[in-house]
Structure 1
C-alpha cells in the first residue's frame, strides 16, 4: 500500500467500498465519519482490520473556539460509546522531548487519575462516584529500551483494567488534517506505523484487554505533499522526510488538552464541563 497514513478515512475510497466496509456520517461541532469493517479481509489492501474507526474533523482544536464545549462533549460522547464499564488505564504513547510526538504524554499528564483516591470518610464520599482511572506515559524505546506495548502490558497485568485508552500522534496524507482531526478506534494502535517505524501493536490480543486508540495527525511525509500538489507519482528512491506544521508546539498543547478534556468527561460523568475545565 503506497500511502503513509494512520487514518482509516484516508485509506478507503468511498467510490470502491468492499462489501465488508460501511460508512456513516453525523456530528454537530465536528464532522464525524464512522467506518465499520466487519472482518479482516481488508488487512492486505488498506491495512485496517475488523472494528470501528471514527474520525472527528473540525476547523480548530483550540480551547478558544466558540464551540469548544460542544466539541469536548461530542468527543466525550463518542469515546463513551467505545469504553466499557470498569477501571481504565490511559496510556500516553510517544516522546515528550519531540514535539510532534508529544500528544500522548501531554494528554496523559492532563487526565484525572483517581485510582489512588479513597472514600473512607463522609467528606470523601464524592470520590466513590468517580471511576478508577490510572495514567501512564512511559516514554519510547529509544529512551527506555522497553517497547511501549511491553510496559503497558506489564502495568495492565498488575492493575487489571477493563480497557486501555492509548493516545498517540498520527501521520496523515492531507495537510489540512494536521492538528484538526481526531481518530478514535476500538482496534488498538501500531505505534510508528504511519512513519514506517513499526513497533509492537497495542491491541486486545497483545494486552489482554480492549484497547481504544485516540490520535491526532501531526506529521505528513514530503513525498505525499509533493504528490498531492503535482498529481505525479513520486520516485520512492528519492530522499524523503516527515514534515510538521510550523506551530506544532501550540498544536500539540491544544490537541492534548482537548483530548484530555474529552477523556475526563467520558470517564467521569459525575463531573460537569465546568468541573473539568477547572482542572486545566
Structure 2
C-alpha cells in the first residue's frame, strides 16, 4: 500500500485526461481536440489518431465526446428536452453506422447506486424487438428501429463475465452494434452525475474503480461497440491530491514520511460518491435513456416515450 502514490490522478473522462496531459506536455502528438458549446451544453471532442496518441493518453484509438449537461435533477421539461436534443445529436453521430438491430447493454450492479447508471438507463430505453415480432403494424407506424437490451449484472453476483453474457445475446440476436452504458470515475466532485461521455472504442467494465473485467469491444463482440458513461465516483487519492494542489502544496513539498502516511490513510481502493447519488443517478440515467430514444427512434416525440416504457 505504501507504494501507492496519491499524486497519480485517476479519471475516465477524456477532457480531464487531456487537461492533465497538457500541464505536462503542451504539444501533444497523435490526438486532435475540439471544444464547442451547443444550446448551453459544453462539448469536448478528442480523436486519438494513432499509436502515439494511444501511448500518450492511455486510451484506445478512436473518437471520444464529453458533454457537460449540468445538474439534471433541477431540469424542467423544457431544459430536459433541450439537453436531450444535444445528447441525441452527439449519439446520432455514433449510431449512424448501425443499420440493423441495436443492442443496449446496461452494465453495473443495480443494487449499488453509484454503479447503476447502465441498468437505470435500460429502464428508460425503448425496446422494440418484441413489437416488431408481435405487432409489425405498430412498429412501422412509429418508424421504430429494432432494439433490445441485456442487463448482465456483475461478475461477483452472477459468476459470469458481463462480456460472456453479452456475446451470447449477440450470437443469437445479431445486432448491427452494441451500446454499452456504465458508470465511470472522475477527478473532481463537480463532474459527478453532471457529465456524459461517449466513445466508439468499447469499454472494460469496472475499470473506473480498478476492478477491470473482460473487454466489450468490436474485437471481442464482432460488431461495433459504442460506450456511454457517467462519472459517479472520485478516487479518494485523486481528490486529496487536487485539494492539496488548490492549497498550494505540491508533490515535492512533502517528505517521504508524509507521503507514506497519506498512502496508508487513503490507499488506492477508496472512492467517494455524492450524498444524493441515488437521485442524481436516476435523473441522469433518464436523460441518457430518453436521448437514446430520440437518437434511434426518430418517429416518436418526447411526450410519447413514456407510453412505450
1:60 counterpart residue number: 71
Once the 2 structures are TM-superposed, how far is the Cα of residue 277 of structure 1 from its aligned partner?
Answer: 4.9
Whose Rg is larger?
2
How many angstroms does 1:17 deviate by? 4.2
The residue number in structure 2 matching 1:90 is 104
Does residue 192 of the first structure (1) align with residue 206 of the second (2)? yes
Counterpart residue number, 1:11: 17
Pair 1:260-2:289 in alignment: yes
| Deviating more after overlay: 57-66 vs 2-11 | 57-66
Cα gap change, 1:261/1:44 in structure 2, threshold over 3 Å: closer, same or farther?
same
Q: Give yes or no for the alignment of 1:2 onto 2:8.
A: yes
Over the residues paired in the alignment, what is the CA RMSD in angstroms?
2.1
The gaps in structure 1 that reach 5 residues or longer are none
Range moving further from structure 2, 104-113 or 5-14: 5-14
Task: Give the aligned length.
Answer: 280
* Alpha-carbon distance in structure 1 between the residues aligned to 2:284 and 2:308: 16
Q: Which runs of 4+ in 1 moved over 6 A?
A: 119-122
Tell whether 2:230 aligns with 1:203: no
Q: Which structure's residues are more often helix, by fraction?
A: 2
Shift of 1:279: 4.8
What TM-score do you get using the length of structure 1 for normalisation? Answer: 0.93
* Stretch of structure 1 that moved more, 83-92 or 44-53: 44-53
2:231 is aligned to 217
Deviation, 1:59, is 2.2
2:156 to 142, 146, 155: 142
For residues 99-120 of structure 1, give each alpha carbon's deviation from its aligned partner in whole angstroms, at most 9, with x where no partner exists. 1001101111221110111377
1:271 paired with 2:300, answer yes
Measured after TM superposition, the shift of residue 44 of structure 1 is: 3.4
Q: Secondary structure at 2:198's aligned position in 1? A: strand
Paired residue for 2:85? 73
Q: 2: distance between equivalents of 1:204 and 1:42?
A: 20
Q: Which structure would you say has the larger RCO, counting Cα contacts within 8 Å and 6 or more residues apart?
A: 2
Q: How far apart, CA to CA, are the structure 1 residues paired with 2:31 and 2:162?
A: 30
Pair 1:6–1:125, CA change in 2 (3 A): closer
> Structure 1 pair 258/121, CA: closer, same or farther in 2 (3 Å)?
closer
Normalized against structure 2, the TM-score is what?
0.84
